[in-house]
Amino acid sequence: MKKLLIQLDTDKRASTFDQVVAYDAGADNLIIHSKITKEEVEDIIYGAIFTRSPKKMKNTAVFIGGSDVEKGEKIMEAVEDVFFANFRVSVMLDSNGSNTTAAASVLKVKEEIDLAGCEVLILAGTGPVGVRAAALFAMEGASVTITSRSQEKADKKAEMIKEEYDLEKIKGVEAKTDADFIKAMKNKEVILSAGPPGINFISREMWKNEDSIKVMADINAVSPAGIEGIELPADGDTIDGIKVFGALGIGSLKMKLHKKAVAELFKTNDLSLNAVEVYKLNEKL
């Protein structure tokens, strides 16, 4: 029986990237719906859950993607609302690569430092990757600070993360100027830059004088780097005594997690893969 992946993409054109990864992960065919809205989900999912016998239902799965993470989250909720009893299929959310990127970023940092009791700073931590990474770091026992250009937004996101993931050690801080970022870096052992492409947050001069920093990671693949001095291929390289990871170094693990996650969808019909579940898949790599 063919493994069918239903790709629900919120963009006008469904992601070619996600399609290629799906085939490489073992999907036989993709059923692609682009510019999808939550109102359209029900009929699509009925087609997924009422066409194959319960024992064969694992051969159908759903992948939710697109550039808008908030829309993707609403699609995920709509999909799961259709399921009942054992009439369901496995589903994965990775809009804008946010779950796989966040998971890979935290796992890379974890290779170099014990996160229990660790002080972590996430630059642009109120974005999709930053929010998920903050939750994952905190789950490992770290104390996490997320930055935003607005204190109100930083506080709001920090509270949301704590409530959604049942966590405590997360706080927000406003950072707009060099002085703000220097203050935020004080006594931090880990710095993750999780901002949008092409935006620099801290210069080399700013971070090299902070003796507490042990590990830095940057998901930005477009120049200038979010953290000046981190090269794209960096994968545990050492700069001025600090272990660093660049976008490509993180990306290699992100790709492995993405492929593994899609492959797992076809092993059972009851998986719901979000940030935490994707993160835990590292144990199976």
Average pLDDT on 50-71 reads: 97
Residue 100 pLDDT: 99
State residue 178's pLDDT score: 97
The confidence band for 28, taking pLDDT boundaries of 50, 70 and 90, is very high
Phi and psi based region of residue 152 (left: phi greater than 0; alpha: psi -120 to 50; beta: remaining):
alpha
Query: What is the pLDDT averaged over residues 67-71?
Result: 97
Report the chain's mean pLDDT, rounded to a whole number. Answer: 98
Please, which residues have CB within 8 angstroms of residue 283's CB and are 6 or more apart in sequence? Answer: none
Predicted confidence band of residue 222 (pLDDT cuts 50, 70, 90): very high
- Token match 């993709």: residue? 30
Question: What letter would DSSP give residue 84?
Answer: B
pLDDT value of residue 214: 99
* 88-98: average pLDDT: 98
SS3 10: coil
**Mean per-residue pLDDT, 22-40:** 98
> What pLDDT shows up at residue 182?
98
pTM of the model: 0.97
Average pLDDT over residues 38-62: 97
User: Over pLDDT 90: what percentage of the chain?
Assistant: 100
pLDDT, one tens digit per residue, over 159-195 is 999 999 999 999 999 999 999 999 999 999 999 999 9
241: phi > 0 → left, psi -120 to 50 → alpha, else beta; which? Answer: left
User: Residues 6 or more apart from 280 whose CB is under 8 A from it?
Assistant: none
Pairwise CA distance, residues 104 & 120, whole Å = 16
pLDDT of residue 234: 98
Count CB atoms within 10 A of the CB of residue 172: 25
Segment 228-268, tens digit of pLDDT: 999 999 999 999 999 999 999 999 999 999 999 999 999 99
Burial code of 3-29, b = ≥16 C-beta within 10 A, e = fewer?
A: bbbbbbbbbeebbeebbebbeebebee
pLDDT of residue 262: 99
Q: What angle do CA 16, 21, 23 make, to 5 degrees?
A: 100
pLDDT in tens, 190-210: 999 999 999 999 999 999 989
Domains and CATH numbers, the chain: 4-97+253-284 (3.40.50.10280), 101-250 (3.40.50.720)
Q: How far is CA 20 from CA 195, 242, 258, 275, in A?
A: 25, 35, 11, 21
**pLDDT per position as a tens digit, 138-160:** 999 999 999 999 999 999 999 99
CA pair distance 128, 68, nearest whole angstrom: 9
Closest CA to 181 of 255, 105, 247, 123: 123
Name the residue among 238, 182, 249 with its Cα closest to residue 214.
Answer: 238
